[in-house]
Structure 1
Amino acid sequence: MTPPVRMPYVVTVDAGLRDLRAADHLLRTLAAELDLPEDGFGCTHLVRGERPRVVVSLAPGSRAELDDVRGRLTTQAYEVTEGAPDAVGRAVLYPGAGLLRGTMAVEEVLSVSAIDRVTVLGGTGRPRPDTALVTNDHVRPQWQSGELVLTAMPAVGGTLVPFEVPEPTPCCADH
């Protein structure tokens, strides 16, 4: 599959990771080491099959930046391939991600970040623009049909929270 149009320059890094938390950490580390531009994207992708794992993709803003990123990653002995592994990556790094803190109106989330749309799990239509979204400082939208979409769920007091929580309880944690 091809990456979304906003990300024409993409490389995928396979570090053999098995969980999203480690992939998030790797993305932040690589972005800092490589000085990824603020308009760049960093996503996680689940790879299924014989060797299930989580890979990350990095999308700087230009071909020259991509060439630099690819070269530097290769010298660090990462397995690097051209393009994204799929078109449904989970965005960790994206324009405006660092601004999504605390409680914000949905319209503010959309105006300060690269997120195109907010949907409500199990709902029909979009939430009202003035609906409060409690970010928990952890907002992970996903690419869907070329749009960056944040899935939220209803919470206390008519607010919303992102579907993905920062510290999920592992399945069967009480067994």
Structure 2
Amino acid sequence: MTPPAPAPYAIGVDTGATTLREADHLLRALAAELDLPEDVFGCTHLVRDGRPRVALSLAAEDEPVLRAARDRLTGQGYEVGDGAPDEAGRAVLFPGAGALTGTLTLAEVLARSAIDRVTVLGTPDEPSPDTLLVTREHVRPQWRDGRLVLAAMPAVGGVLVPFEDPDPTPCCADH
């Protein structure tokens, strides 16, 4: 799949979510409730003002899709504004996201989804297209300079895994 440029129409949604996990679940629930098409991008954004939280954004090629979403979200009491909160959203919903399950080559990841590039932490080199990625069914690329980039890290067996762990251990969990 040829990665798209960031969609021209975007809205930001302040839901009051305080964790990425909460924001992810809410974003998926809203997308299902609003019956958003698969080509819509749904991202999370960390807001670090006097009230730290995780905002959402929805971006699409078609303004009517977002106009309808804005109307319904506003009607549900959410604070909705024009544009994304920032340019570095963490994508939860993106074209091809549902096809990124199991173990795939990086070439398959790039061909099946809107992800434009995969980087490996700790190395400046591009990974080989035949490198395997164990998705853990949790792929969260981020927008960087207008490109959707997945950060990955080496794992046991010479494979890669997405940098973001689907089940992170809470800080001080053993205390």
Band the TM-score falls in, shorter-chain normalisation = over 0.9
* 2:102 aligned partner, one-letter code: G
> Could you tell me which residue of structure 2 aligns to residue 20 of structure 1?
20
RMSD of the TM alignment (CA)? Answer: 1.1
> Could you tell me which residue of structure 1 aligns to residue 10 of structure 2?
10
> Could you tell me which residue of structure 2 aligns to residue 94 of structure 1?
94
* 1:64 aligned partner, one-letter code: P
> Could you tell me which residue of structure 2 aligns to residue 71 of structure 1?
71
1:137-172, CA deviations, whole angstroms, 9 ceiling, x for partnerless residues? Answer: 000000000000000000011100000011001122
Equivalent positions of 1:19-168 (< 5 A) are 19-168=19-168
- Equivalent residues of 1:37, 1:61 under 8 A apart: no
Find the aligned partners of 2:5 and 2:127 in 1 and give their Cα distance: 26
- Corresponding residue SS for 1:21: helix
- Corresponding residue SS for 1:157: coil
Find the aligned partners of 1:126 and 1:173 in 2 and give their Cα distance: 35
- Corresponding residue SS for 1:58: strand
Aligned length: 172
* Post-superposition offset of 1:61: 2.8
- Equivalent residues of 2:5, 2:147 under 8 A apart: no
Find the aligned partners of 2:103 and 2:41 in 1 and give their Cα distance: 23
- Corresponding residue SS for 2:33: helix
* 1:102 aligned partner, one-letter code: G
> Could you tell me which residue of structure 1 aligns to residue 173 of structure 2?
173
The normalised TM-score by structure 2 is 0.96
- Equivalent residues of 2:9, 2:61 under 8 A apart: yes
Q: Runs of 4 or more off by more than 3 Å in structure 1? A: none
Find the aligned partners of 1:125 and 1:66 in 2 and give their Cα distance: 38
For structure 1, the residue ranges without an aligned partner over 5 or more in a row are: none
* Post-superposition offset of 1:5: 4.1
Find the aligned partners of 1:146 and 1:6 in 2 and give their Cα distance: 6
- Corresponding residue SS for 2:137: coil
Find the aligned partners of 1:76 and 1:60 in 2 and give their Cα distance: 21
